[in-house]
Structure 1
Amino acid sequence: MLRVISYSKKMSTFVSQVNRITGKMEWCFRDDDYDFKQEIARSSYADMLHDTERNQLYYAGLKVAVAKKRAAGEPVRVLDIGTGTGLLSMMAASLGADSVHACEAFTPMADCAKKIIAENGFAAQIKVIPKRSTDLVIGEDLPERANILVTEVFDTELIGEGAIGTYTHALRELLVKDCIVVPSVGNMYIQLVSSKLVRRWNQLDDLDIDGKTTVTSPLAMKRCGGAPALHDLQLDQLPLEKFTRLTPPKRVFRFDFTGVTPLLEDETSIVTMEMEGSGPVDGIFMWWDLEMDPNAEIILSCAPNWAHPTPRNMQWRDHWMQAIYYPYTHLTVARGEMVKVICKHDEYSLWFDVAKDKENCPEDRPICTCGAHITYSRSRLGMLSDPDRRQTFLQIIKKNIKQDSNVLCISNGSLLPLMVAAGQGTGLVYALETHPMCARVMRDFIAHNNLQDRVTLIDKQVEDVTEADITDKVDVVLGEPIFQTAQLPWDNICFWYLARALDPYLAPRAAILPGNMRLYAVPVEYEHLWKIRADVGICEGFNLQQFDNIIQLNSESVDETVEPHPLWEYPCTASGPGAMLLNVDMTRALADAQDVEETVALSLLRSEPCNGVALWAEFDFGDGHVISTGPREPIRTGHKITWDYYTRQGVHLLYNSRRINCLQSGDDNCHITVSVKFVPQKGDISFKFSPSWS
């Protein structure tokens, strides 16, 4: 998205970037250290330091390790790899370790750790080394090998941050043979499921147009297993009625971080599972747990609630979620049937498949061969198959497109041109595709459905379109609208800019659909999401204020006021009624559009706490046909909001995620003032949030 060139001025760099609203490239100045500041701002690893269970179980695991070495009469020498804030090192020091060496390759964080360690009184016990662990040298960085290793180098896939290589090197080069490592073991579990919703995130359903005509996916896409990458998400938020568990959970990998059993960079595990349900195997759920001590008495589990050992006392996490993997083999199973599950990993990633016998087990890691799975996001694939959304568009087409209408479809990777062309109309259908990969996929769809004579694919940027591309005047301009560059729902107003750039090719009274975009906001209490921006302060008795300061300082420079999140995964409760902030008429000429500034006071119910605002957009096609990126049901104050599964909403978190309760504050007029400014000629929408209690 950014391309840096050599021209500099006043410690700034001239860069080009895509304006997500206009779709055009723009030039702007950015501080030379912008990317550096952004890296620091994101180094909070979301809610990791707010993960109380993680912190406490690491503390407990270290306590066991230190006690074992003390009982053996050994001096306690601890190595902390990837220390971050220095939290785990300070835990070790507070437990009586004789020496602690902490390495941290990210220099700003290493400097921050030194300050935190000094402020907490451990400067004499802990040495911070600003290096990667693989660069450490015994006799230079460490006086001798350590006998306890503590590290947190895990991600949702467990091994995706290089845990195998990190442990293997440390065991070989930096630790004594009888060392204790915290954690000691990682166990990985899977569960097979059948689910229409899960399947839609990986494969497109056939599209029934009128009971007679069907739009189908190219054979290459039907036979393609999808991208060989995890789909990480908060499985706890997936409604239980949306999937059927075909098997109980089963452990498929055991990663021994102690070195007793070597860690393999390439490993295959073929397990046989008995089906307790029937249906197609649409997805493979995965999660893991950690044994924090040598006796496996302290367990840190990342299982979803239905498989968790203590479901009533679960820790919310955003840094370690669960994941879905999609099998490459399309297999339907019956209750009681025995099925082979092929589980593989390399040094950094995992993949899975299913088969009814060992002979059919694939050996090589499959890749996406159709192009769609590496072009579309999981949510976009699901959106394209969503039956409610499809039905709405079919009604829009039936209502607005006549038999001889010439139609111009503007979106990225949309099925709308196929839906229009597959009908009985005689008009021309043009499909403007500004994204090259989407154009490739759409070309395959058009050919597979034999619509080459009905659909003209315009694989160009809008400024390059000529009369040779659009040969007849367009009667209807139609969009979902969805664009690959969009991050926030209202970024898809890019449709307006593209449509109006083609005014010379439109009939005098051409219909623009959607005709309006409305922007909404509602005050909410985020159940857990606030943790990603909240100060840490005191963590397990250690003062981490220096960390808060450095994150806040850099976040102020690079963070947006509103950021995108899929709120169906991050529950929130309405603290008051929602309100419309902005209404943009996209049927008007862009040249006539004036700047708009609107201010709305979002009232808060006195009994309801609040720590942020949620925002979304609706696109109005007329006659009651609306495509919403927001709630799926009417908002009720004091109740959880049910959000769209396929889009991300806008999230504003109150400064330091302060939680206000109007009843407690004594304010009878508690509200959040939201000001929005839209500058159409620049393609800029900005927000300002002002709580009444600030």
Structure 2
Amino acid sequence: MECTAGHNNAENYFSSYEDLEIHRLMLEDKPRNIAYKNAIISNKDLFKNKIILDIGTGTGILSILCAQAGAKKVYAVEASNIASLAEEIVKENGFTDVIQVSHCRIEDFELDDKVDIIVSEWMGFYLLHEGMLDSVICARDRFLKEDGLLFPEECILYTAPCQLPSFYQFWDDIYGIKMNSFGKKYRKIFEGKPEIREVLSENLLNEGNEFVKFNLNFVKNEDLDRISQRQVVACIKDGIYQGICMWFCVKFPSINGKDCVTLSTKPDNPLTHWKQTVIVLPVELPVESGDAVAWELTLQRLIDKPRSYSILLTMLDPDEESHPIPCDCHRPKCLIIKTYLSQLPPEDDDNDENDIAT
């Protein structure tokens, strides 16, 4: 299965952010806004009298939070025409002496000084859709001080097998009439592309595993060109394997390095405007708790559309794949290894685990 998502070109990408409806959705996204507010305001000592760069400022909400936290200067950079509205909102909140709005791409922005902190809400659907992380990396390399901070600083994309009743079971009974023939044709529409849907936590067949993890202090553009991983996971409940669910979380720096704020789009967290991303399988597979399922997922940046990705999902035979250690599936080999590891003294775990392969 292969699917593509993204804007056709940079012009369409930036013009899409002139749509006030998009900003309304983001401003009404309580988990998103509360996470950024808590991350900034609870770390006032990191922002006080500091120089801040806000990439993709939009309506200016993050810039204003930085100003409220005591920032000395905030450079708010916005490529779309919403920049003029951001200037009005900055004035409305009385921060024109602190916040400077620049209407340009961050790649074209010029600044003589280095900044102490870069803030940005750059995340797209399944984390990388929209490709704004490239702009953050560009700004980091050009403008951030050597000991500067990035808000957020770490991001993780997760995957898990899931049930998708709205694509399958829903069609079993439409006011007492079976519509599975319609449902089968309807699913064809979504084969070959990611779909943004709300996935209930009860429909996850596994808690999820890391697909990719980035530290924004070190990630490079080329790291984003192709991301691929083979995964084997054990189902934690009986159900019907109908798709792959993707979600992400980002983590922010903190003063003590421990009490960091996290923004997560996992199904068991409050719903955000990102919802979750699902890849619908062409067939459904009944599974029991302890059954292993396997797949290979590849995100490939398109050369002619760098803000777009093709997503290739290949279903694998779990009996032919290497299983993680420990593995919670009921394959006899994995059960034996898990039992063996559970009996080891804690100090011996690391040494002995490395010597075992499934």
Classify the TM-score, shorter chain.
0.5 to 0.7
**2:90 maps to which residue?**
117
Question: Residue 98 and residue 170 in structure 1: after superposition, are their counterparts in 2 closer, same or farther (change >3 A)?
Answer: same
Amino acid corresponding to residue 290 of structure 1 in structure 2: V
**2:195 maps to which residue?**
231
**2:7 maps to which residue?**
none
Contact 1:225 1:327 in 2 (8 A): no
- How big is each residue's C-alpha offset from its partner over 1:93-112, in whole Å with a ceiling of 9 and x where there is no partner? 221212111111112x1111
Amino acid corresponding to residue 283 of structure 1 in structure 2: G
What is the rounded CA distance, in whole Å, between the counterparts of 1:110 and 1:196 in structure 2?
Answer: 42
Contact 2:156 2:210 in 1 (8 A): yes
Amino acid corresponding to residue 90 of structure 1 in structure 2: I
**1:178 maps to which residue?**
147
Amino acid corresponding to residue 93 of structure 1 in structure 2: A
What is the rounded CA distance, in whole Å, between the counterparts of 1:117 and 1:68 in structure 2?
Answer: 22
Task: Report the RMSD for the aligned CA atoms in angstroms.
Answer: 3.7
- How big is each residue's C-alpha offset from its partner over 1:423-476, in whole Å with a ceiling of 9 and x where there is no partner? xxxxxxxxxxxxxxxxxxxxxxxxxxxxxxxxxxxxxxxxxxxxxxxxxxxxxx
What is the rounded CA distance, in whole Å, between the counterparts of 2:67 and 2:163 in structure 1?
Answer: 49
**2:298 maps to which residue?**
344
Matching of residues 170-319 of structure 1 within 5 Å: 170-195=139-164, 197-199=166-168, 227-236=191-200, 245-259=204-218, 263-278=223-238, 280-293=240-253, 295=257, 297-304=260-267, 307-308=268-269, 314=270, 316-317=271-272, 319=273
One of 59, 65, 68 as aligned partner of 1:91: 65
Matching of residues 317-396 of structure 1 within 5 Å: 317=272, 319-327=273-281, 333-347=287-301, 348-349=308-309, 350-357=311-318
Number of residues of Structure 1 aligned to a counterpart in Structure 2: 289
Cα deviation for residue 149 of structure 1 reads 0.7
**2:333 maps to which residue?**
none
Is 1:56 paired with 2:45?
no
Cα deviation for residue 52 of structure 1 reads 3.2
Matching of residues 483-498 of structure 1 within 5 Å: none
Contact 2:160 2:245 in 1 (8 A): yes
Cα deviation for residue 66 of structure 1 reads 5.2
Question: Residue 358 and residue 149 in structure 1: after superposition, are their counterparts in 2 closer, same or farther (change >3 A)?
Answer: farther
**1:151 maps to which residue?**
120
Matching of residues 618-657 of structure 1 within 5 Å: none
Question: Residue 153 and residue 217 in structure 1: after superposition, are their counterparts in 2 closer, same or farther (change >3 A)?
Answer: closer
Matching of residues 454-465 of structure 1 within 5 Å: none
One of 53, 64, 72 as aligned partner of 1:79: 53
- How big is each residue's C-alpha offset from its partner over 1:189-209, in whole Å with a ceiling of 9 and x where there is no partner? 2221245543479xx99xxxx
Calculate percent identity across the aligned residue pairs: 24
- How big is each residue's C-alpha offset from its partner over 1:26-51, in whole Å with a ceiling of 9 and x where there is no partner? xxxxxxxxxx9997453543322123
Contact 2:161 2:245 in 1 (8 A): yes
Look up the SS of the partner of 1:78 in the other structure: strand
What is the rounded CA distance, in whole Å, between the counterparts of 2:16 and 2:76 in structure 1?
Answer: 24
TM-score by length of 2: 0.68
What is the rounded CA distance, in whole Å, between the counterparts of 2:163 and 2:33 in structure 1?
Answer: 35
Contact 1:65 1:180 in 2 (8 A): no
Cα deviation for residue 264 of structure 1 reads 2.8
Task: Give the greater-gyration-radius structure (CA).
Answer: 1
Question: Residue 37 and residue 340 in structure 1: after superposition, are their counterparts in 2 closer, same or farther (change >3 A)?
Answer: closer
Cα deviation for residue 92 of structure 1 reads 0.9
Contact 1:198 1:283 in 2 (8 A): no
Cα deviation for residue 128 of structure 1 reads 0.9
Look up the SS of the partner of 1:326 in the other structure: strand
Cα deviation for residue 150 of structure 1 reads 0.6
Amino acid corresponding to residue 234 of structure 2 in structure 1: E
Question: Residue 360 and residue 193 in structure 1: after superposition, are their counterparts in 2 closer, same or farther (change >3 A)?
Answer: same
Cα deviation for residue 329 of structure 1 reads 7.8
Amino acid corresponding to residue 207 of structure 2 in structure 1: P
Cα deviation for residue 163 of structure 1 reads 2.9
Is 1:106 paired with 2:80?
yes
Matching of residues 544-559 of structure 1 within 5 Å: none
Look up the SS of the partner of 1:235 in the other structure: coil
Question: Residue 326 and residue 103 in structure 1: after superposition, are their counterparts in 2 closer, same or farther (change >3 A)?
Answer: same
Q: Which structure has more RCO (C-alpha within 8 Å, separation ≥ 6)?
A: 2
- How big is each residue's C-alpha offset from its partner over 1:576-609, in whole Å with a ceiling of 9 and x where there is no partner? xxxxxxxxxxxxxxxxxxxxxxxxxxxxxxxxxx
Question: Residue 196 and residue 76 in structure 1: after superposition, are their counterparts in 2 closer, same or farther (change >3 A)?
Answer: closer
Contact 1:83 1:103 in 2 (8 A): yes
- List gaps (5 residues or longer) in structure 1: 1-35, 206-214, 309-313, 362-694
**2:356 maps to which residue?**
none
TM-score by length of 1: 0.37
- How big is each residue's C-alpha offset from its partner over 1:274-329, in whole Å with a ceiling of 9 and x where there is no partner? 1234565211122222212254621122222xx33xxxxx3x43x21112112468
**2:108 maps to which residue?**
135
Amino acid corresponding to residue 265 of structure 2 in structure 1: C
- How big is each residue's C-alpha offset from its partner over 1:117-155, in whole Å with a ceiling of 9 and x where there is no partner? 123221121111100112223xxxx22222211111222
